[in-house]
């Protein structure tokens, strides 16, 4: 009897161990697929991803410490279960951008549900080789690759990674839902053109937290169709600030609704927080936009609504924007401005801004072009709390 019980006990113990082992994520190490230091690991990474994506057991694609070359990677789902990519080392893009088409990503994740990208590693786009060389400095170099594209990625986490010197945008999110970026570092010099940190379009439930963005364009930019976007504890600068827009350049743009920017620090940037739309635009809506508890350090145009946004005179500035802006607040914004016009609300004469609130603004001007001031155009904001500069005059 005792022997029988021991056999049964051993059987159940082995079953429990098997179940525990089955629950442990599998590791798909690219070095076991032929990846070698300082060599191109494109094929090894693709094969490791395919096996991990097809596995019925949770898997982790591992890129160990060291430096590797990567020509291009498109990592597609859907996968059978949630999947993790853990980059511990450094991946370097080719310096030659030939072969990339408009909007291409160097590393693209597409149609993945439950992605985790982490590990503390670096994606080095080697953008200094092409900045200002493939097109004029003031033109958009669309054929240069974006460091990351996240296309139709859902319920995912991007954490503890570094995006370095992208040739164009660092991160582009399209059609995403419930995606969090946390403790991400984005680094490029101030004079690197079109290197937006994180650009989001037609996505909902996107959160950016505890992230540092140093770049040559917008730290965060939101295109049409963005809904329920949260940007918190982001340090931005250098760069062009945090922007909603530009909106209205294209037909059939979706509304932007529900944006909160809170507890951020913006330093040494050309703009602070802004909403920008093209004049002579297509119809559109932007509403429920809130900017709160923000520190500005040596920032040009700290608080800005610009419905006459027309870079390089690419539009008819005499025709008013048709983007309707409403329910916007700027609260508890303090620090220093490098321009005398620190609060500048320029709304559309055809569709004046509605329900704009300005509360507790305390900005000091660091230049010599006269006293700090504010301006309102086609908007009558609700004013409360401390106001420096004085409340804007129409």
Enter the pTM of the model. Answer: 0.93
| Contact assessment for residue 111 and residue 76, using Cβ atoms and an 8 Å cutoff | yes
Q: How far is CA 5 from CA 12, 18, 297, 325, in A?
A: 11, 20, 73, 74
Q: Do 218-393 and 24-215 have the same topology in CATH?
A: yes
Name beta bridge partners: 231.
208, 261
Q: What DSSP string describes 279-327?
A: SSPPPEEEEEEEEEEEEEEEESSSEEEETT--GGG-S-TTSPP-EEEEE
Determine if residue 95 is left, alpha or beta; phi over 0 gives left, psi from -120 to 50 gives alpha, anything else beta: alpha
User: Which two structure tokens, joined as six digits, stand for 6?
Assistant: 């021991």
Neighbour tally for 42: CB within 10 Å: 16
CA distance 190 to 334: 23
Tell me if residue 282 is catalytic: no
User: For the domain 24-215, what is the CATH superfamily, name and number?
Assistant: Single-stranded right-handed beta-helix, Pectin lyase-like (2.160.20.10)
CA distance 229 to 297: 24
| Contact assessment for residue 219 and residue 169, using Cβ atoms and an 8 Å cutoff | no
Tokens 């494109």 correspond to 42
CA distance 165 to 286: 31
3-state secondary structure of 127: helix
Q: How far is CA 194 from CA 137, 172, 325, 328, in A?
A: 9, 12, 26, 27
Q: Over the Cα atoms of the chain, what is R_g?
A: 24
Give the pLDDT of residue 140: 66
Give start and end residues of each alpha helix (H) in the chain.
2-23, 42-54
Going by C-beta distance under 8 Å and a sequence separation of 6 or more, which residues neighbour residue 307? 276, 277, 279, 320, 321, 323, 325, 346, 347, 348, 353, 378
Pick the CATH number of 218-393 from 3.30.70.20, 2.160.20.10, 3.30.460.80, 3.30.390.50: 2.160.20.10
Give the pLDDT of residue 17: 39
- The full set of domain ranges for the chain reads 24-215, 218-393
CA distance 172 to 190: 19
Q: Please tell me which residue in 170, 199, 240, 290 is annotated as part of the active site.
A: 240
Q: How confident is the model over 288-311, as pLDDT tens digits? A: 999 999 999 999 999 999 999 998
Name beta bridge partners: 148.
107, 171
Determine if residue 51 is left, alpha or beta; phi over 0 gives left, psi from -120 to 50 gives alpha, anything else beta: alpha
User: Which two structure tokens, joined as six digits, stand for 102?
Assistant: 């408009």
In whole angstroms, what separates CA 152 from the centre of its chain? 15
Question: pLDDT averaged over consecutive 10-residue blocks of the chain (394 residues)?
Answer: 44 43 79 98 98 97 98 98 98 94 95 98 97 69 92 98 98 98 98 96 98 98 98 98 96 97 98 97 97 98 96 84 98 97 97 98 91 96 96 72
Give the pLDDT of residue 21: 43
Give the pLDDT of residue 15: 43
Q: How confident is the model over 204-233, as pLDDT tens digits? A: 999 999 999 999 999 999 999 999 999 999
| Contact assessment for residue 42 and residue 35, using Cβ atoms and an 8 Å cutoff | no
């Amino acid at each position: 009897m005792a022997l029988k019980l021991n056999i049964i006990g051993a059987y159940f113990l082995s079953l429990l161990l098997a179940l525990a082992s089955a629950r442990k994520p599998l590791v798909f190490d690219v070095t076991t697929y032929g990846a070698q230091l300082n060599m191109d690991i494109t094929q090894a990474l693709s094969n490791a991803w395919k096996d991990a994506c097809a596995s019925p057991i949770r898997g982790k694609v591992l890129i160990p410490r060291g430096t590797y070359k990567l020509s291009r990677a498109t990592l597609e789902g859907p996968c059978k279960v949630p999947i993790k990519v853990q980059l511990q080392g450094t991946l370097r893009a080719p310096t030659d951008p030939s072969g990339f088409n408009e909007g291409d990503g160097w590393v693209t994740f597409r149609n993945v549900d439950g992605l985790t990208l982490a590990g503390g590693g670096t994606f080095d786009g080697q953008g200094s080789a092409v900045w200002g060389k493939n097109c004029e400095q003031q033109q958009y170099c669309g054929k240069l690759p974006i460091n990351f594209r996240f296309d139709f990625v859902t319920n995912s986490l991007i954490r503890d990674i570094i995006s370095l010197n992208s040739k164009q945008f660092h991160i582009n999110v399209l059609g995403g839902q419930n995606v969090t970026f946390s403790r991400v570092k984005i680094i490029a010099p101030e004079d690197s053109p079109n290197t937006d940190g994180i650009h989001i379009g037609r996505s909902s439930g996107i959160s950016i937290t505890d992230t540092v963005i140093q770049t040559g364009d917008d730290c965060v930019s939101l295109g049409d169709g963005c809904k329920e976007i949260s940007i918190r504890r982001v340090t931005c600068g250098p760069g062009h600030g945090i922007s909603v827009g530009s909106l209205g350049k294209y037909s059939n743009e979706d509304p932007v609704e529900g944006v909160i920017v809170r507890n951020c620090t913006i330093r040494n940037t050309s703009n602070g927080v802004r909403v920008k739309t093209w004049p002579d635009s297509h119809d559109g809506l932007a509403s429920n936009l809130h900017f709160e508890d923000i520190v500005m350090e040596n920032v040009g145009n700290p608080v800005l609504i610009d419905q006459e946004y027309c870079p390089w005179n690419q539009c008819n500035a005499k025709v008013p924007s048709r983007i309707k802006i409403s329910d916007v607040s700027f609260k508890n914004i303090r620090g220093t401005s490098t321009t005398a016009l620190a609060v500048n609300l320029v709304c559309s004469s055809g569709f004046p801004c509605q329900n704009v609130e300005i509360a507790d603004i305390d900005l000091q001007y660091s230049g010599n072009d006269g006293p700090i001031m504010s301006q309102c155009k086609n908007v009558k904001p609700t004013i409360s709390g401390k106001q420096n500069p004085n409340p804007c005059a129409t």
